[in-house]
């Protein structure tokens, strides 16, 4: 589809280019021939004044004018041929570059729709199977039916989490945040408190006086995603550390945990639905880090992963200073 679109756009670019070239060529031809005619006419008048044989000179000047016109036409022909070939190549490259972003967005949207459909279909299929089994078994006890309902409720919770993440991702595509001054140490403590018993495994080393600029709820979501990701991928009961570094215009918040990430996974780790654990039974949907990336970008910052320290993974968020 996009290849045909590239060829069509190339054709339009080339048509515009050749139209302009031909118009200029015609203008150049008439200007050049008029100039040649003017000079030859002046030369003819000079010869007439000198009383040279007029008929032979007129014939000579006519031939010269015809030759000059032919040379101009030939020169313009080769110039237009060069523009046609070179312009065609440049038009194709320009059309390809113009549509590249649209093609990537289309491919990303297609993958997103496919993955989202798969993620939604899996829990729905599990719920349907459990309900059908429960209904077909006439001897099901109350405890068995209760267990089926609890299992379905867990799947409903998973669907709720997934739908909220998808909704947040779609909103971030065109959402403008109301940015205020935020104490990065305080909001990190507030985020840590939401992790219950796991909060004791999180060490907040952020400078107490660092102020950043952003939307409080969005920043809390961003930190929550990175902390949750660090806890999931750390050895059991190992601590994670949250530290900070301040620069002139921005601050870095670093969420560190013990562990490793495969080198092949690093370029894709922020892609939607990408998981280092390829199993569909793995915890999470592969949307958290993608959402974190979106939030940081929406604040004029970024988030990246650093695995240069062996046995340690650092997720580094840059956010503007207040």
Give dist(CA 108, CA 172) in Å, integer: 16
Minimum mean pLDDT range among 1-5, 82-86, 300-304: 1-5
**Among candidate residues 124, 140, 172, the one where a domain is terminated:** 172
Residues 43 and 104 in one domain: yes
Determine the pLDDT at residue 188: 92
In angstroms, how far apart are the furthest CA atoms of the chain? 130
Residues 101 and 189 in one domain: no
- The total number of structural domains in the chain stands at 3
Q: Quick check: 57 pLDDT over 60? A: no
Residues 131 and 204 in one domain: no
pLDDT in tens, 301-311: 899 988 887 88
Residues 68 and 152 in one domain: no
Per-residue buried b or exposed e for 136-155, using 16+ beta carbons within 10 Å of the residue's own CB: eeeeeeeeeeeebeeebeeb
Residues 100 and 28 in one domain: yes
Residues 138 and 239 in one domain: no
Residues 188 and 291 in one domain: yes
Domain of 288: which CATH number?
Answer: 3.30.565.10
Residues 237 and 306 in one domain: yes
Q: Sheet holding 250-258: strands in order across? A: 202-204, 240-246, 250-258, 312-320, 302-306
**Residue 144, domain extent:** 113-172
Provide φ and ψ at 213, rounded to 5°: -115, 125
**Among candidate residues 127, 154, 172, the one where a domain is terminated:** 172
Determine the pLDDT at residue 255: 92
Strands 240-246 and 202-204: parallel
pLDDT in tens, 22-35: 888 788 877 777 76
Q: How confident is the model at residue 281 (pLDDT cuts 50, 70, 90)?
A: very low
Domain of 142: which CATH number?
Answer: 1.10.287.130
Nearest in space to 157 (alpha carbons), one of 283, 266, 249, 44: 283
The mean pLDDT value for 208-218 works out to: 86
Minimum mean pLDDT range among 69-73, 107-111, 314-318: 107-111
Give dist(CA 127, CA 192) in Å, integer: 33
Residues 131 and 201 in one domain: no
Q: How many CB atoms lie within 10 A of CB 30?
A: 11
Per the model's pLDDT, the better-predicted residue between 318 and 171 turns out to be: 318
- Of all residues in the chain, what percent carry a pLDDT higher than 70? 76
**Among candidate residues 84, 108, 132, the one where a domain is terminated:** 108
Residues 208 and 312 in one domain: yes
Strand partners, 181: 213
Residues 195 and 296 in one domain: yes
Give dist(CA 251, CA 244) in Å, integer: 7
Q: Quick check: 278 pLDDT over 60? A: no
pLDDT in tens, 216-266: 888 888 898 899 888 888 888 888 999 988 888 888 999 998 888 877 777
Residues 258 and 220 in one domain: yes
Give dist(CA 57, CA 59) in Å, integer: 5
């Amino acid at each position: 589809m996009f290849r045909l679109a590239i060829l069509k756009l190339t054709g339009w670019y080339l048509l515009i280019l050749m139209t302009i070239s031909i118009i200029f060529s015609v203008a150049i031809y008439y200007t050049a021939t008029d100039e040649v005619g003017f000079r030859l006419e002046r030369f003819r008048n000079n010869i007439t004044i000198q009383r040279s044989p007029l008929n032979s000179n007129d014939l000579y000047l006519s031939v010269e004018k015809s030759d000059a016109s032919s040379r101009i036409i030939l020169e313009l022909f080769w110039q237009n041929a060069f523009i046609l070939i070179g312009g065609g190549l440049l038009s194709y490259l320009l059309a390809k570059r113009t549509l590249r972003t649209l093609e990537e967005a289309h491919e990303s949207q297609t993958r997103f729709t496919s993955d989202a459909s798969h993620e939604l279909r899996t829990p729905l299929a599990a719920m349907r199977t459990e309900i059908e089994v429960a209904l077909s078994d006439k001897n099901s006890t109350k405890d068995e039916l209760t267990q089926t309902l609890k299992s379905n409720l867990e799947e409903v919770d998973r669907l709720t989490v997934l739908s909220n993440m998808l909704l947040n991702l779609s909103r971030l595509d065109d959402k403008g945040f109301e940015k205020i001054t935020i104490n990065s140490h305080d909001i990190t403590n507030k985020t840590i408190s939401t992790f219950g018993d796991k909060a004791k495994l999180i060490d907040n080393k952020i400078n107490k006086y660092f102020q950043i600029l952003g939307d409080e709820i969005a920043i809390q979501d961003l930190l929550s995603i990175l902390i949750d990701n660090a806890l999931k991928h750390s050895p059991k009961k190992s601590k994670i550390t949250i530290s900070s570094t301040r620069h002139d215009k921005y601050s870095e918040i670093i969420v560190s945990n013990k562990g490793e990430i495969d080198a092949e996974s690093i370029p894709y780790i922020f892609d939607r639905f990408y998981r280092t654990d390829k199993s569909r039974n793995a915890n999470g949907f592969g949307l958290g880090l993608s959402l974190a990336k979106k939030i940081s970008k929406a604040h004029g910052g970024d988030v990246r992963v650093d695995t240069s320290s062996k046995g340690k993974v650092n997720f580094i968020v840059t956010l503007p200073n207040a």
